[in-house]
Amino acid sequence: MTAVLITGTSSGIGRAAAQRLVRRPDLTVYATARKTETITELAESGARVLPLDVTDEESMRAAVEAVEAEHGAVGVLVNNAGFGEYGTIEETRLDGVRRQFETNVFGLSRMTQLVLPGMREAGRGRIVNIGSMGGRLVFPAGGYYHASKYAVEALTDALRFETAPFGIKVSLVEPGLIRTRFSGDAAQNLADSAVPSGPYAALNSAVDHQISESFRSKLLAAPPEVVATAIERAITAARPRSRYVVTPAAKVLVHTRRLLGGRFFDAYLRVQFKTAP
């Protein structure tokens, strides 16, 4: 049995991944959250439940040690925990940005550091980092969130090369718009950071509208189960891809940005958010 440790399973992508993977007889799934009472449903489905706060060193160590005590090593780490601190670069409070990087970047990094010795000793392992299409392109009022996901891109690329000689495979899953509570949290963070009569009021209003409309769109957004499917592929494929871009809309945006360059994408954003040239 391979032990799979998933961070951030209280909702959204993490919960969907745990629900999907727990059905597999070859995996023992460890679902984690800061408050285990939020994931009792996963325990009832067959997952092992552990408390885990990826901003707390003691909590991270305890979770990894609990899995290693039973299995010798963490077989698969899914770094999913994260959130979006939205707002313009000028107006967003940096204490929120620091909390975001502690979760999205440093928590992911520390969890990776903690599982790697056991994986190296076992001569195998998988690490799946949940990034975002937002690690490949940037929307206004999301700069700090995108910066955290760009960091995950870089860390994953370096890690994939560094760990390959030890039999450890590393993949990055890059979801597009996924219908989770992320959109509501992002909109709330945007509202909290925005100055109602400030210089970015019109832009913030346009961004808030786009968040609401885009995440409700059946064409642009998808349920978290589609990301769970990609995570399962990254875990089980004999030769997993380095990247899994999830949702058709995300694939179009990522490749359009790459092929047509920054000037075209800026023009697209001016139309989308109705800003002056």
What positions carry a catalytic annotation?
145
User: Angle CA(111)–CA(116)–CA(117) in degrees, nearest 5?
Assistant: 125
Cβ-in-10-Å burial (0-12, 13-18, 19+) of 55 comes to: middle
Distance CA 14, CA 89 (A): 29
Give how far Cα 48 sits from Cα of 6, 128, 252, Å.
Answer: 11, 19, 38
Residues 145 and 211 sit within 8 Å (Cβ to Cβ): no
Distance CA 176, CA 251 (A): 8
Q: Which residue carries 């139309």 as its tokens?
A: 271
Distance CA 213, CA 268 (A): 17
Distance CA 219, CA 229 (A): 19
Q: What one-character DSSP code corresponds to residue 134?
A: G
Distance CA 269, CA 233 (A): 33
Distance CA 225, CA 237 (A): 18
**Residues near 265 by beta carbon (within 8 Å), at least 6 away in sequence:** 137, 256, 257
